[in-house]
Amino acid sequence: MKHYNIPVFIPELACPNRCIYCNQRHISGQLQAVKPEEIEQIIEQHLSTFIRPSCVELAFFGGSFTGIDEKDMITYLKIVQPYIEKGEIKSIRISTRPDYINEKILDILKQYNVRDIELGAQSLNEEVLAFAKRGHTVKDVENASRLIKDYGFSLGLQMMIGLPLDSVERSKATAKKILELGAESTRIYPTLVINNTDLADLYQAGQYKALSLEEAVEWTAEIYKIFSQTDITILRVGLHPSEALIKGEQLLAGPFHVSFKELVLTKLWQEKLEKIPDDTKIISVNPREINYAIGYNGVNRKILQEKSPFLKFISDSNVQIGTFIAQN
């Protein structure tokens, strides 16, 4: 059965402060919050393109869904209910801040068929959070995560790499803490420098250095290794390539790439394959991973063919995910 997601963005509608890196309207490419009457249009438009039968999830993104006016939040949730009752949408996913979670909020979300709650943790280091002006603490993340799990929701925790005062070791510690808190899903975002943010001011003053694309790929690969050893689902690696980001109109610096995840997985497969014998002629890989094994723009294959010119990759569904078979 095909799985689909219907995204509804509500940028900055309820955020109580402005994080150092955030100008979400430019990141998402959406200049104003979606109006209630537009949600039905978004749903109908997406449903008309889906192959049936399918498993459809509606996601309210924007990072502060449970902080908007309670009446507005319920209005948004109610719009989705007829589609759930008809079986056209299975469940709802929301993203919000850790300090916008309490028992009353969770009671409402449970009533209206929300299944997944993602928290923008971003870091689980107090110094990084404070400098980023997140407005919440590590304890807030811990408390919200515990409540969400106690209520039976699926917990997602998002993280960013490369924030001011961050380091590879601090990001790895955040990843491990995300696992300790029982998250069932995660997203990994590299920090970008967007116009009209405090981070842009620091960057232009020479007080912040953005990660290069190569650094971000290597850094994220280390995080990916930690997560891939567990059952956690990595929902996204890298920011969604909105039109505004692709055009680069608001991007001052930072490791944005439309195929960032592919670059990360290319790096991980490069490490896996670097010790194969020089006389290897065939590498068999599961079809779900063969593109990553070959590498972005075929880079891994090119490297290996320098040692073995006639080497080729073969797709084999019998090969276990994450492994390969080398033959000479």
Give the model confidence (pLDDT) of 28-74 as tens digits: 445 566 788 899 999 999 999 998 888 999 999 987 899 988 999 99
Query: Is the domain of 17 the same as that of 81?
Result: yes
Query: Is the domain of 163 the same as that of 277?
Result: no
Query: Is the domain of 250 the same as that of 279?
Result: no
Listed residue (220, 163, 215) closest to 188, CA to CA:
220
Whether residue 266 lies inside any domain: the answer is no
Whether residue 76 lies inside any domain: the answer is yes
Query: Is the domain of 72 the same as that of 147?
Result: yes
Q: What is the Cα–Cα distance from 265 to 319, expressed in whole angstroms?
A: 17
Query: Is the domain of 203 the same as that of 311?
Result: no
Look at residues 258, 290, 308 and tell me which one is the last residue of a structural domain. 258
Query: Is the domain of 183 the same as that of 252?
Result: yes
Domains of the chain: total: 2
Whether residue 43 lies inside any domain: the answer is yes
Query: Is the domain of 89 the same as that of 146?
Result: yes
Listed residue (259, 317, 309, 260) closest to 288, CA to CA:
317
Helical ranges in 154-285 per DSSP H: 168-180, 198-204, 213-228, 243-247, 260-273
Whether residue 157 lies inside any domain: the answer is yes
Look at residues 209, 233, 258 and tell me which one is the last residue of a structural domain. 258
Residue span of the structural domain in which 224 resides: 2-258
Whether residue 268 lies inside any domain: the answer is no
Residues contacting residue 68 through CB under 8 Å, at least 6 positions apart: 10, 13, 14
Q: Which residues in the chain show pLDDT less than 70?
A: 11-17, 24-33
**pLDDT for residue 18:** 78
For 260, the token pair is 């960032």
Whether residue 267 lies inside any domain: the answer is no
Query: Is the domain of 116 the same as that of 205?
Result: yes
Q: What is the Cα–Cα distance from 21 to 199, expressed in whole angstroms?
A: 5
Query: Is the domain of 248 the same as that of 117?
Result: yes
Give the model confidence (pLDDT) of 271-320 as tens digits: 999 989 999 999 999 999 999 999 999 999 999 999 899 999 999 999 99
Look up the CATH number of the domain holding residue 155.
3.20.20.70
Look at residues 223, 258, 293 and tell me which one is the last residue of a structural domain. 258
Listed residue (327, 288, 282) closest to 305, CA to CA:
282
pTM listed for this prediction:
0.92
Whether residue 24 lies inside any domain: the answer is yes
Whether residue 131 lies inside any domain: the answer is yes
**pLDDT for residue 29:** 47
Under 8 Å between Cβ of 283 and 326: yes
Query: Is the domain of 160 the same as that of 296?
Result: no
**pLDDT for residue 33:** 65
Query: Is the domain of 321 the same as that of 234?
Result: no
**pLDDT for residue 24:** 59
**pLDDT for residue 36:** 85
Query: Is the domain of 279 the same as that of 321?
Result: yes
Under 8 Å between Cβ of 107 and 127: no
